[in-house]
């Protein structure tokens, strides 16, 4: 693939104190590509998404989104300097995120959870925002739940609201951080179905952290195995999930697929 990547990590390091979470990471994603990130706990999977969503700053390197530096901006002499608030706000328009714990706004109805940001941030009229919310709630099969509060919904329903809420802003890139890990097993399917549908019908770049290997195989163009803040191994899902080259990857997959051992 020779196209300009929509996401590019260029020798990115991220540390918490002495602990290195991302270690000189190089990582690229092509437009419309569906990439799944797998790896052991603490390997930096969430951090990659959180850096992209501007929730976590980086210590070294440059992250590019849509060709523009995310955490930096160009000064007059074409040198990179740390980004200011206005730059971050412009860049955030390109990304949307779905959180493991849903993070819905409990004091707003489902409809307002969806329409508040488009109205206040994008300046949509109430009618436009309601219209958009209606369409997306239909897409996630929650057309009749618009007037409920998040606390009145099941976890699976809440997460589908979470997906719709992120889509309301029409991002080019969607980030999913273990979107089904907080759900009871019987509710996982309905959320995965919605995400799969989204992948099939929308021109979206999708970056997802998940432990649902079967699902990863179905929807991903590429699977990346993270270990200690680096990509140890990556490739098409069949290759990584069925015949990984690295021993660490094999150990990890064995543990995930045989949780009871």
Residues that bind another protein (CB under 8 A): 53-55, 89, 92-93, 95-97, 99, 101, 103-108, 116-117, 120-121, 149, 151-152, 165-166, 169
Residues touching ligand ATP, count (CB under 6 A): 10
46 binds Mg ion (CB under 5 A): yes
Strands 7-16 vs 60-65: parallel, antiparallel or unpaired: antiparallel
- Residue 43 binding partner per list ligand ATP, another protein, Mg ion, none, with a CB distance cut-off of 5 to 8 Å that depends on partner kind: ligand ATP
Interface residue with ligand ATP, options 1, 2, 3, 41 (CB under 6 A): 41
Helix or strand holding residue 47 (H, E): helix 45-52
By the rule CB under 6 A, 158 interacts with ligand ATP:
no
Residue with smaller CB distance to another protein, 173 or 241: 173
Pairing state between β 230-235 and 222-227 = antiparallel
Which secondary structure element, helix H or strand E, spans residue 156, and what is its range? helix 155-167
Nearest residue (CB) to another protein, 103 versus 218: 103
Tokens of 211: 């432990």
Strands 72-74 and 80-82: antiparallel
Choose the one of ligand ATP, another protein, Mg ion, none that binds residue 99, judging by a C-beta under 5 to 8 angstroms depending on kind. Answer: another protein
Count helices and strands (H / E) in the chain. 9, 12
* Closest approach of ligand ATP to the CB of residue 65, in Å: 19
Q: Give the binding range for Mg ion (CB under 5 A) out of 24-32, 38-46, 55-63, 79-87.
A: 38-46
Min separation Cβ 230 and Mg ion, Å: 16
Q: Nearest-CA neighbor of 68 among 46, 44, 93, 49?
A: 93
In the three-class reduction of DSSP (H, G, I as helix; E, B as strand; rest coil), residue 189 is classed as helix
**Residue 124's binding partner out of another protein, ligand ATP, Mg ion, none, with CB under 5 to 8 Å set by partner kind:** none
State which of positions 45-64 bind ligand ATP (CB under 6 A).
Answer: 45-47
CB of 43 to Mg ion, least distance (A): 9
For residue 213, the partner it binds in ligand ATP, another protein, Mg ion, none, with Cβ less than 5 to 8 A by kind, is none
Write the CA distances from 144 to 88, 128, 137, 148, 168, integer angstroms.
Answer: 35, 19, 8, 9, 17
Nearest distance from C-beta of residue 45 to Mg ion, angstroms:
5
Tokens at residue 65, please? Answer: 């989104």
Distances (CA, A) of 12 to 3, 64, 78, 84, 229: 21, 11, 20, 19, 10
Question: In which region does residue 67 sit, left (phi positive, over 0), alpha (psi from -120 to 50) or beta (all else)?
Answer: left
Residue 165 interaction partner, one of ligand ATP, Mg ion, another protein, none, beta carbon < 5-8 Å per kind: another protein
Beta bridge partners of 9: 27, 63
Q: How many CB atoms lie within 10 A of CB 58?
A: 20
Q: Does residue number 44 form part of the binding site for ligand ATP (CB under 6 A)?
A: yes
Positions touching ligand ATP (CB under 6 A) are 16, 21, 39, 41-47
């Amino acid at each position: 693939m020779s196209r300009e990547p929509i996401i590019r990590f260029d020798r990115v390091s991220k540390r918490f104190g002495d602990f290195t979470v991302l270690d000189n990471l190089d990582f690229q994603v092509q437009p419309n590509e569906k990439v799944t990130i797998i790896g052991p706990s603490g390997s930096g999977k969430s951090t990659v998404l959180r850096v992209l969503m501007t929730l976590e700053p980086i210590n070294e390197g440059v992250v590019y989104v849509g060709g523009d530096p995310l955490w930096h901006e160009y000064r007059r002499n074409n040198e990179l300097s740390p980004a200011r608030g206005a730059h971050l706000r412009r860049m955030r328009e390109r990304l949307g995120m779905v959180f493991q714990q849903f993070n819905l706004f409990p004091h707003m109805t489902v409809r307002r959870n969806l329409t508040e940001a488009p109205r206040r941030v994008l300046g949509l009229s109430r009618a436009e925002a309601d219209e958009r919310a209606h369409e997306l709630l239909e897409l996630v099969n929650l057309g009749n739940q618009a007037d409920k509060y998040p606390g009145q919904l099941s976890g699976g329903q809440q997460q589908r609201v979470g997906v719709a809420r992120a889509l309301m802003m029409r991002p080019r890139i969607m980030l999913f951080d273990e979107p089904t890990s907080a759900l009871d097993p019987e509710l996982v399917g309905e959320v995965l179905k919605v995400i799969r549908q989204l992948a099939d019908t929308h021109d979206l770049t999708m970056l997802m952290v998940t432990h649902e290997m079967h699902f990863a195989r179905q929807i991903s163009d590429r699977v990346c195995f993270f270990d200690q803040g680096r990509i140890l191994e990556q490739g098409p899902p069949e290759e990584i999930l069925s015949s990984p080259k690295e021993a660490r990857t094999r150990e990890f997959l064995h543990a995930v697929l045989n949780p009871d051992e």
